Chains A and B, each alone.
Chain A
Amino acid sequence: MTPLDETGGTVLEVRDLAVEFPLTGSVVRAVDGVDLDVAAGEIVGVVGESGSGKSVTMLALLGLVHRPGRIVGGSVRLRGTELAGLGPRELARLRGRRMALIPSDAGAALNPVTRIGAQVDEGLARHLPELPRAERQGRILDILRRVGLPRPDTQVRRYPHELSGGMQQRVAVAMGVQLGPDLLIADEPTTALDVTIQAQILRLLLDVREESGTAILFVTHDMTAVAEICDRVLVMYAGQIVESGSVAEVCAAPGHPYTKALLDAIPPLGGEPPEELTTIPGAPPDPRAWPVGCRFAERCPLRRRLGDPAECTSVAPAMATLDSRGSAGRRSRCHFPDALVEAVGGLVR
Chain B
Amino acid sequence: MSGIPLLSVRGLGKEFRERGFGSGRSVVRAVDDVSFDIHQGETLGLVGESGSGKTTIGRMIVRLEEPTSGRIELRGEDLRDLSGRRLMEFRRDVQMIFQNTQNAFNPRRSIRSVLSDPYEIHRLAAGRELEERIGELMRRVGLTPEMLDRYPQQFSGGQRQRIGIARALALQPSLVIADEPVSGLDVSVQAQVLNLFAGLRRELGLAMLFISHDLRAVYFLCERIAVMYLGRLVEIGPRRRLLENPVHPYTRALVGSIPAFQPGGGFTRTVIQGEISDSEPTATGCHFAPRCALWRELGRPERCREARPPLSPAPGGGMAACHFADVPGSQAAEFGDAAPGAHSAVGPVNLAARLPGGSG
Residues of A within 8 A of B (CB): 23, 47-52, 55, 104-105, 107-108, 142, 145-146, 148, 150-151, 155, 157-159, 162-167, 188, 191-200, 202-204, 206-207, 210-211, 221-225, 227-229, 246-248, 250-252, 261-262, 265-280, 283, 349
Contact = CB atoms under 8 A, between A and B. Distances in A.
Interface string B35-73: 000000000000111110001000000000000000000
Given A162-B19, A211-B352, A206 B267 contact: yes
A241 B337 CA distance: 34
**Interchain residue pairs A-B with the least CB separation, the first 6:** A166-B50, A50-B158, A248-B264, A221-B186, A251-B263, A194-B213
B267 A164 contact: no
B186 A267 contact: no
B213 A221 contact: no
A196 B254 contact: yes
B201 to A, nearest CB: 11
Given A50-B158, A107-B102, A167-B278, A196 B219 contact: no
Nearest to B212: A194
Given A211-B355, A277-B191, 11 more contacts: A23-B154, A142-B356, A151-B275, A165-B99, A167-B51, A192-B213, A207-B351, A207-B358, A228-B267, A265-B191, A277-B220
A219 to B, nearest CB: 10
Contacts of B262: 227
B263 A194 contact: no
A145 B351 CA distance: 10
B281 to A, nearest CB: 12
Contacts of A349: 260-261
A164 B257 contact: no
Given A108-B102, A165-B100, A204-B351, A194 B48 contact: yes
Nearest to B160: A50
B232 interface: no
Contacts, number: 229
21 contacts: A50-B158, A51-B158, A55-B157, A146-B354, A146-B355, A165-B55, A165-B180, A167-B277, A194-B47, A197-B49, A199-B269, A199-B271, A202-B267, A224-B261, A246-B264, A248-B264, A269-B215, A270-B243, A274-B220, A275-B198, A277-B220
Given A151-B275, A199-B269, A266-B261, A283 B220 contact: no
Contact of A200 (B216, B244, B254, B271): B271
Interface string B180-208: 10011111111110110010000000000
Interface size range of chain B in the complex: 35 or more
B114 interface: no
Contacts of B18: 162
B19 A210 contact: no
Contacts of A221: 158, 185-187, 190
Most B-side CB within 10 Å, residue of A225, A273, A275: A273
Nearest to A266: B187
A336 B203 CA distance: 40
B25 to A, nearest CB: 13
B180 to A, nearest CB: 6
A197 B158 CA distance: 22
B194 A277 contact: yes
B189 A50 contact: yes
Contact of A265 (B19, B190, B260): B190
Given A158-B19, A247-B263, A283-B143, A265 B188 contact: yes
Interface in B229-255: 239-240, 243-244, 253-254
Given A193-B213, A276-B195, A199 B259 contact: yes
Nearest to A200: B271
Contacts of A269: 215-216, 219, 243, 258, 336
